[in-house]
Amino acid sequence: MDQDVVNHPAWNYAAMAFFLMAWVFYTLFARYMAKRTHCLASIMCVHRVWWMERMMVRDNRVADSALLSNIERNVNFFASTTMIIIAAILTVLTGDFELEYFTGNLTKDYGQIKLILMVAIMIYAFFTFTWSLRQYGFASVLLGAAPLPSQDEFNLSQRKEYAKSTAKVLDQAAHSFNYGLRAYYFSMAVIAWFVHPLLFLLATSLVVAVLYHREFMSKSLTLMVMDADIINGK
């Protein structure tokens, strides 16, 4: 019976369809909720604006450059790791290996589909990480081009507009990085498919629950909201 469930096309295609719909639905849901309630994405956007506004009044911006460089290194690490993972999976797909050795006897009929799905996810993650890296590079240029406090030809309104636009570039870069990380989370669910399609369904549901909790209900979010209230004088 279990063998029939694992190798039955209906169970496997249903599990994959549920996985894709869950990913798309959660992405749309997170975007919708970010505009209506506190979440990591929305509160970090506020803090990035404040960061850039503080940067505009500092003569010495070495600390700001160091922070941005550290973020870029983190993104670069994930982009490089993703390339290694893609190469490893492609080696299994195109090499002279017994696919059953990597996918298990119970899943040999769908081993290639599962590996191809993993490759697709990793390619998507690679593109989001590299685009995030480029956007952080744009932000670095904007940081270097920011007017100094001693430059009187720029008024307060212009400085605030410059800070907001720079923070927006940082925000877009962070969104791209977040999409890449989300792809990593969902790739963990695909690993369960190598064991059993029903486990794949459960793993997908668990990933969605973990993402929701971390983005909308985590303690880090609560503390950052408190910090925002303190800065706003609430």
> What is the number of domains present in the chain?
1
Asked whether the predicted pLDDT for residue 218 surpasses 80, the reply is yes
Q: What pLDDT is attached to residue 3?
A: 53
Whether 218 and 40 have beta carbons less than 8 Å apart is answered as yes
User: Residue 97's pLDDT band (boundaries 50, 70, 90)?
Assistant: low
Of the candidate ranges 3-12, 21-30, 76-85, 163-172, the one whose mean pLDDT is the lowest: 3-12
Q: pLDDT: is 112 or 163 the higher one? A: 163
The mean of the pLDDT values for the chain is 88
Whether 6 and 199 have beta carbons less than 8 Å apart is answered as no
Total residue length of the chain: 234
Domain limits at 10?
2-231
Which H or E run includes 56? helix 40-56
User: Residue 43's pLDDT band (boundaries 50, 70, 90)?
Assistant: very high
Q: What pLDDT is attached to residue 11?
A: 81
Distances (CA, A) of 132 to 6, 151, 183, 198: 38, 31, 14, 34
Asked whether the predicted pLDDT for residue 68 surpasses 50, the reply is yes
Q: 172-212: per-residue pLDDT in tens?
A: 999 999 999 999 999 999 999 888 889 999 999 999 999 99
